[in-house]
Amino acid sequence: MIKKRSKTKIPKVLSLEEIEKLISLPSPKAPTGIRNKAIISTFAYAGLRAMELVNLKVSDIGLKEGWIHIKGGKTGDRDIPISPKLEPYLISWNNIRPKHIRYFFTTLKGKRLQDRYIREMIRRLGEKIDLKVYPHKLRHSFATHTLKRDDINTRELQALLGHKALSSTQVYTHIEPKELHKKLREDKEKKKQDLNNLFQQFLNKQNELANQVKEMLDKALAE
């Protein structure tokens, strides 16, 4: 008996606009708001796993060097570049975070944040804008939007995400049904427009030819 091949489940992701909207929700005037903006941005713009984020130490954040160092991930240590979108949020939190503390993301009293708190914080913020959001969905979003860039290939994304198997990364190369439908519709509209333009060019050429013939006849009759 031949076993049916299971369909690849395409991760649901947030659009870039939805990510920005989510990041805008925490108050920039409150210390916890500044911290939470940095947390959401780190998931969305660096693609960390939840436990990787809570385990980040101050020494792992190289703001001058432009790298986040992940220690002991599923595939060992790896470095993730700090993007221009992420950098200001990390700097803002770094300026006000409790000092002489081992971990980078902490409570205002300097205690390491719990994974459960972060998940709940992100879930509640998502509900405010009618979105179902959790840390791994932000990681999926990072992967999907990163792969759309021309300068990143699947192997490079695999290294950024810390995937052991390339197949885990290749799921992001699949086009979502809505995106495929949109692309097909756009292609159809483009072909239709191209045909209309071609037909219009044909009519213009016909009119031009007719005018030339008329001019020749008028000239011949006038002689």
Please state, in angstroms and rounded to a whole number, the distance separating the CA atoms of residues 122 and 78. 25
Q: Is 163 a catalytic residue?
A: yes
Please state, in angstroms and rounded to a whole number, the distance separating the CA atoms of residues 223 and 213. 16
Buried b (16+ CB within 10 A) or exposed e, 184-223: eeeeeeeeeeeeeeeeeeeeeeeeeeeeeeeeeeeeeeee
Kindly name the residue from 74, 132, 185, 214 that is annotated as catalytic: 74
Strand locations in the chain, DSSP E? 61-62, 67-73, 76-81
Kindly name the residue from 35, 140, 145, 163 that is annotated as catalytic: 163
Q: Could you tell me the CA-to-CA distances from 134 to 37, 127, 219 in Å, in that order?
A: 14, 11, 80
Kindly name the residue from 85, 123, 136, 174 that is annotated as catalytic: 136
Residue 15: CA count within 13 A, CB half-sphere: 6
Q: Is 69 a catalytic residue?
A: no
Kindly name the residue from 35, 37, 45, 49 that is annotated as catalytic: 49
Q: Is 139 a catalytic residue?
A: yes
Q: Is 192 a catalytic residue?
A: no
Q: Is 172 a catalytic residue?
A: yes
Rg of the Cα atoms in the chain:
27
Kindly name the residue from 97, 137, 139, 145 that is annotated as catalytic: 139
Kindly name the residue from 45, 89, 103, 172 that is annotated as catalytic: 172
Residues belonging to the active site: 49, 74, 136, 139, 163, 172
